[in-house]
Amino acid sequence: QSALTQPASVSGSPGQSITISCTGTSSDVGGSKYVSWYQHHPGKAPKLLISEVSNRPSGVSNRFSGSKSGNTASLTISGLLAEDEAEYYCSSYTSSSTPYVFGTGTKVTVL
Amino acid sequence: EVQLLESGGGLVQPGGSLRLSCAASGFTFTNYAMSWVRQTPGKGLEWVSVISGSGSRTYYADSVKGRFTISRDNSKNTLYLQMNSLRADDTAVYYCAKVEWGYYFDYWGQGTVVTVSS
């Protein structure tokens, strides 16, 4: 099971919107309702941002939103804040013998 | 409040063994699958293993199959990862994570560092 493909880095100015893509296959992203997104600040515990493609857990800012089209899922961060500077990972439940796969990770920089 | 606290990391020589623990609190431990995920230096997250709430079902990444064993003690609310035949590429921060509905990871610990080096 290969890692899902994410851009290595994305940047934006405060207040702007950015979108991070996550490309897989029909065995994972394309065929799964269970795509999730995580925010990871260095030295801290990763945090769940989005579950089941577009569901936002209680307590997560509505500036974070998720979507999916075909084999590609996307995370959009609107109204970018300095505190959004972190690494972001997608993940998918898969139909293979390896039930979970993560993306390669995207470093978000707030300019 | 859900809390997950990993321990047991350290420096070990190639070929050696280590057992990681994850103490859980704030939820009914036996009701949830639990997983280990690692982050290797300069790389991203890699799923390692998952165990069902009862402990009867386990799954592993190909990279650790046959070398790592996941287990749990529901009487102690603790998750374990026994790591044998360790290699340099097992060097990573190891996180335990609570699995929600079997499909995604809703809570994570702070991680414990494992370094495999001679």
- Rounded to whole angstroms, the Cα distance separating B73 from B88 reads 29
Please compute the mean of the pLDDT values over residues B39-57 and round it to a whole number. Answer: 92
Q: Does A38 touch chain B (CB under 8 A)?
A: yes
Judged by CB atoms closer than 8 Å, whether chains meet at B105 and A38 is answered as: yes
Q: Does A46 touch chain B (CB under 8 A)?
A: yes
pLDDT at B82 over 90: yes
- pLDDT at position A65: 97
Give the chain B residue whose CA is nearest to the CA of A57. B106
- Give A7's pLDDT tier (boundaries 50, 70, 90): very high
The answer for A 6-25 residues in CB contact with B (under 8 A) is none
Q: Which is nearest to B109 in space by CA: B86, B79, B89? A: B79
- Rounded to whole angstroms, the Cα distance separating B65 from A36 reads 25
- pLDDT at position B101: 85
Give the chain A residue whose CA is nearest to the CA of B98. A48
Report which DSSP code applies to B32.
S
The percentage of chain A sitting over the pLDDT mark of 90, rounded to a whole number, equals 90
pLDDT at A43 over 80: yes
Read off the tokens for A43.
């030295």
- Rounded to whole angstroms, the Cα distance separating A105 from B10 reads 26
- Give A1's pLDDT tier (boundaries 50, 70, 90): confident
Q: Which of A98, A100, A106 to mutate to test the interface with B (most CBs of B within 10 A)?
A: A100
Q: Are A18 and A80 in contact (CB under 8 A)?
A: yes
Contacts A52 to B, Cβ<8 Å: 103-104
pLDDT at A88 over 90: yes
- pLDDT at position B11: 97
Judged by CB atoms closer than 8 Å, whether chains meet at B59 and A97 is answered as: yes
Minimal C-alpha gap between B39 and chain A (Å) = 11
Judged by CB atoms closer than 8 Å, whether chains meet at B103 and A51 is answered as: yes
Please compute the mean of the pLDDT values over residues B81-102 and round it to a whole number. Answer: 96
pLDDT tens digits, residue range A14-24?
A: 999 999 999 99
Q: Does B35 touch chain A (CB under 8 A)?
A: yes
Q: Does B106 touch chain A (CB under 8 A)?
A: yes
- pLDDT at position B45: 94
Contacts A47 to B, Cβ<8 Å: 108
